Amino acid sequence: MIEVSKKCIGCAKCVPVCPFAAINMIDKKATMNEACTLCGACVQVCPVQAITITREEASTRDLSGYKGVWVYVELSEAGDKTHPKKIKQVTFELLSEGRKLADRLGEELCAVLMTDKDHNYEKELGAYGADKVYLVEHDELFEYNTDIFSTVMVSLVTRHKPSVILYGATIQGRDLAPRVASTLYVGLTADCTALSIKDGLLLQSRPAFGGNIMADILAPNSRPQMATVRPNVMKMGEPVHGRAALTVRESAKLDKSLRRVKVLERKIDHGSGAVKIENANVIVSGGRGMKTREKFHQLEELSKLLGGVVGASRAAVDLGFKEKTHQVGQSGTTVSPKLYLSFGISGAVQHIVGMKASDVIVAVNKDPNAPIFNVAKYGIVGDAHEIVPKLIEALKKGK
Ligand code: FAD
Ligand code: SF4
Ligand code: SF4
């Protein structure tokens, strides 16, 4: 239920932001009509907090009409006419996982795409498993913005009632999902590492208590059930080219006054063209066992010879051996390279959760009982300070 209190000063700021033309000014007071979807956009702009939305108690809601698994489609930040924005890999990972969930539920898998310009993205989304693409095309969707994107998402949810929504645990997903959750008054499980279906509900698993236990979370009383998943956690399936998704175009009436944060300047850090750790095929990682910054730097040389990127345990980052952006693990980045080399890392559970999806793990540690050996395909019990220079020498000789 939506109500406008006596505090309303008749400024009419709420009128243009309503995506559903649900507000009329009557006797200098905002009045909502039956087109209101309770999206919350007007609440955000009212300067005197005159609008309140009261949502039904979760336990009294009829949840039977909620059907389908949705995946939020994340596009890269920048694009132009010649280089359109690309769908980020995490979307394909989520579609691959979402496909399995939808099949278990016997429901549709839908992708939710918000963009200023559609570049035939539906083709790729279909290839990765989407049955349907909800496409919202509008000039105001030219870049990610919390207010604009959450308003569109909430209105789509209100209209179509999905049962499950998955978002990437990226900067965008971590911003959007909580906003949608709080507007709809539903739960959200962040950073899930496994998803499955149990008794028709989404079973959301994630590490808890510093990674020492895995928590299984169910949301039986609210819909949609929402989760974020980090990039590289779910395996991306093989695309089936030519598999088509049905495109459902959704209209949105978006007013720029809804945008409370304006980007004044955009500086894109192209770096030195270096590959980001989350996209690297080879990672050479070091831990506290590397002992000093200078010795840690030998890993840079090794990774260059292998065409890889350097990673680090949290202990190594805390000691200043490497920047935080290279930290692998629960409070760092989740990676899944083809080859993960680890030197002087013990293998604490918080590190393992961030790299165990690597194709081949090779670990070097002095301690034969180090837990890193439990996930390593090849383990070398030895001194990293002897082994690293030997590897560098061998690679230089082209062995
Ligand atoms: P240590 O555990 O001290 O291990 C050093 C290893 O080096 C030992 O196994 C030792 O045998 C070996 N070694 C010593 N000398 C040599 C040598 N000369 N040659 C070969 N081996 C040698 N950690 C992360 O990595 N990433 C995270 O994202 C992360 N998030 C966390 C989040 C929370 C909430 C908490 C509580 C902890 C987190 N941690 C994280 C910290 C984690 O628990 C460990 O403390 C950390 O991973 C240990 O780093 P390490 O293996 O480099 O150091
Ligand atoms: Fe319009 Fe949304 Fe406000 Fe309802 S809650 S009046 S749909 S802006
Ligand atoms: Fe009234 Fe607030 Fe709407 Fe202004 S924005 S007309 S004060 S409800």
295 & 380 share domain: yes
- Number of domains observed in the structure of the chain: 3
Residue 362 Cα to ligand 1 midpoint, Å, equals 16
Q: Which range marks the domain in which residue 36 is found?
A: 2-54
CATH number at residue 360: 3.40.50.1220
CATH number at residue 171: 3.40.50.620
Residue 24 phi/psi, 5-degree rounding, is -120, 145
292: helix, strand or coil: coil
Residue 142 phi/psi, 5-degree rounding, is -70, -25
44: helix, strand or coil: helix
CATH number at residue 13: 3.30.70.20
Q: Is the peptide bond before 239 cis (omega within 30 degrees of 0)?
A: no
Mutation probe of ligand 1 site: the residue of 365, 383, 385, 390 with most atoms within 8 A of C-beta: 365
Q: Which residue minimizes the CA distance to atom 14 of ligand 1?
A: 289
Please report the pLDDT score of residue 279 as a whole number. 86
Please report the pLDDT score of residue 255 as a whole number. 84
45 CA: nearest ligand 3 atom = 5
50 & 81 share domain: no
Ligand nearest to the CA of 50: 3
Q: Which residue minimizes the CA distance to atom 8 of ligand 2?
A: 18
What is the C-alpha separation between 184 and 129, in angstroms, rounded? 27
115 & 246 share domain: yes
What is the C-alpha separation between 15 and 25, in angstroms, rounded? 8
Residue spans of the chain under pLDDT 50: none
283 in a structural domain? yes
250 & 128 share domain: yes
Please report the pLDDT score of residue 271 as a whole number. 59
Residue 190 Cα to ligand 3 midpoint, Å, equals 34
119 & 233 share domain: yes
265 in a structural domain? no
109 in a structural domain? yes
Residue 3 Cβ contacting ligand 3 at under 6 Å: no
Listed residues 258, 282, 312: the one ending a domain = 258
Output the DSSP codes for 68-115: -EEEEPPB-S---SSS---B-HHHHHHHHHHHHHHHHHT--EEEEEEE
Report in angstroms the alpha-carbon separations of 83 from 76, 80, 119, 250: 11, 5, 10, 25
How much is the pTM? 0.78
List pocket residues of ligand 2, CB cut-off 6 Å.
2, 18, 20, 22-23, 32, 36-42
Stretch (H or E) spanning 189? strand 188-192
Please report the pLDDT score of residue 301 as a whole number. 95
250 & 319 share domain: no
Please report the pLDDT score of residue 382 as a whole number. 96
Residue 8 Cβ contacting ligand 3 at under 6 Å: yes
Please report the pLDDT score of residue 252 as a whole number. 83
Ligand nearest to the CA of 369: 1
Please report the pLDDT score of residue 57 as a whole number. 65
73 & 217 share domain: yes
First-last CA distance in the chain: 72
385 in a structural domain? yes
> How many residues are present in the chain?
399
Strands of 69-72's sheet in order across: 188-192, 225-229, 164-168, 69-72, 109-115, 132-137, 246-250
CB neighbour class for 161 (10 Å; exposed up to 12, middle 13-18, buried from 19): middle
The predicted-structure confidence for 116-168, as pLDDT tens digits, reads as follows: 988 899 999 999 999 999 999 999 999 999 999 999 999 999 899 999 999 99
299 & 350 share domain: yes
Listed residues 231, 258, 285: the one ending a domain = 258
230 in a structural domain? yes
